[in-house]
């Protein structure tokens, strides 16, 4: 029978506070799947008119799918969160764009009519599962010169991007990083992030039990002088430092997406509408440029230009990657449309979880900016990709 695609809306999004990876981080003794469980339970608490049995799918992304991030984490977390056993789930991976892909994948199912409501999100516990844990790259990558050796080390790809765009200096990258830290501090002071943070119980053999209520990575008060003396670990006399890149982090995100008419039927608030999305491949050696072709494809397909976009949430894996995107689209470094509350350089980037953080913040920006019709969430992706989602005010 012929089908008509349905409109898909973003209903709600939450996340745990992000922690620093490592033995002294917030979540050093907390399981990754428990982070996801807490997010799912909070989404249910915040949306009491959504019957649990109406959730048709739980899609959870993780880049390293082993240990407490394995066992088909979408399904296992759904069971642990107390959802009915009839609710299925699965795991998904597109590295940094895992949660973004979880959303676009279930959204496609909703538009097609296979689902009415779904939960999508991501988790990364980089303290328990360092980037690349257990990976065994095929020797053909290098033996047949399919990629340069730097393609497999994200910091080196960022240095390559600096090489390609020499106008993006270390000083310019540091200045962008300082602004990100300042904007995050201002957003915290105004109580903006707290709206969608779910407090997470934590424990430490040394300190006992506690409660994580805010992000651990931000460094308020960061200055250009602070950043100038940092080491460049990926290249002698390089430009990429711990100060102008996202750190290694732990955290989880989740959101509810639904068919627009079903959201209305269930009394759920539609906060923004998914218009379209695009993923694109680029040379893995300069993976940070991925958002550019992904966004170009998306805008062209929808007969839009960057002038039509009033809000942009771009993941700050590295300052150079954001600046390359801004330069391409002739956007000023300090354009107020871009990451109004700062970004991952300050907040952190637990790989597969970050896509939904961008969406959750964009939904809040729409609330504050009734004059804006369109917004983007966009990010670069390891192994040479980019992903962009176009959203519209409801």
- Which sequence positions are flagged as catalytic? 96, 349, 380
| Contact status, residue 220 vs residue 351, Cβ threshold 8 Å | no
Among 273, 259, 271, residue whose Cα is nearest residue 117: 259
Q: For residue 226, give both structure tokens.
A: 């602070």
Rounded CA gap, 275 and 150, in Å?
A: 35
In 3-state terms, what secondary structure has residue 5?
coil
Residue pair 383/150 in contact by the 8 Å Cβ criterion: no
Contacting residues for 131 by C-beta, under 8 A, at least 6 apart: 63, 64, 154, 248, 351
Q: Which residue in the block uniquely carries the two structure tokens 């089908």?
A: 3
- Only one residue has tokens 């391409």, namely 328
The closest alpha carbon to 64, from 350, 364, 363, belongs to: 350
Other Cβ atoms closer than 10 A to 210 = 12
DSSP H or E stretch at residue 327: helix 319-328
Burial per residue of 114-148, b for 16 or more beta-carbon CB atoms within 10 angstroms, e otherwise: ebbbbbbbbbbbbbbbebeeeeeeeeebeeeeebb
């Amino acid at each position: 029978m012929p089908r008509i695609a349905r409109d898909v809306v973003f209903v709600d999004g939450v996340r745990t506070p992000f922690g620093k990876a490592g033995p002294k981080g917030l979540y050093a003794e907390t399981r990754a799947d428990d982070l996801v469980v807490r997010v799912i339970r909070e989404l249910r608490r915040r949306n009491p008119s959504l019957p649990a049995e109406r959730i048709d799918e739980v899609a959870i992304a993780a880049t390293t799918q082993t240990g407490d991030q394995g066992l088909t984490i979408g399904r296992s977390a759904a069971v642990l969160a107390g959802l009915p056993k009839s609710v299925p789930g699965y795991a998904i991976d597109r590295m940094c764009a895992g949660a973004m892909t979880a959303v676009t994948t279930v959204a496609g199912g909703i538009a097609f009519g296979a689902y009415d409501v779904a939960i999508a999100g991501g988790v990364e516990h980089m303290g328990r599962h360092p980037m690349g844990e257990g990976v065994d790259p095929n020797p053909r990558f290098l033996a047949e010169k399919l990629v340069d050796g730097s393609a497999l080390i994200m910091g080196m790809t960022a240095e390559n991007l600096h090489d390609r765009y020499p106008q993006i200096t270390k000083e310019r990258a540091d200045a962008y990083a300082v602004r990100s830290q300042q904007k995050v501090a201002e957003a915290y002071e105004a109580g903006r992030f707290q709206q969608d943070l779910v407090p997470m119980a934590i424990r430490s053999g040394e300190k006992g039990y506690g409660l994580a209520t805010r992000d651990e990575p931000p460094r308020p008060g960061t200055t250009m002088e602070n950043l100038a003396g940092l080491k460049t670990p990926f290249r002698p006399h390089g430009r990429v430092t711990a100060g102008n890149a996202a750190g290694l982090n732990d955290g989880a995100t989740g959101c509810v997406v639904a068919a627009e008419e079903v959201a209305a039927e269930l009394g759920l608030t539609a906060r923004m509408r998914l218009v379209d999305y695009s993923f694109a491949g680029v040379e893995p050696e300069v993976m940070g440029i991925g958002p550019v072709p992904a966004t170009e494809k998306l805008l062209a397909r929808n007969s839009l230009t960057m002038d039509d976009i009033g809000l942009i949430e771009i993941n700050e894996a590295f300052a150079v990657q954001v600046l390359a995107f801004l330069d391409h689209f002739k956007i000023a470094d300090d354009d107020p449309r871009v990451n109004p509350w700062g970004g991952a350089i300050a907040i952190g980037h637990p790989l597969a979880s970050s896509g939904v953080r961008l969406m959750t913040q964009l939904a809040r920006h729409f609330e504050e900016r009734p004059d804006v019709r369109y917004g983007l969430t966009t990010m670069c992706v390891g192994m040479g990709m980019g992903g962009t989602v176009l959203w519209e005010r409801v």
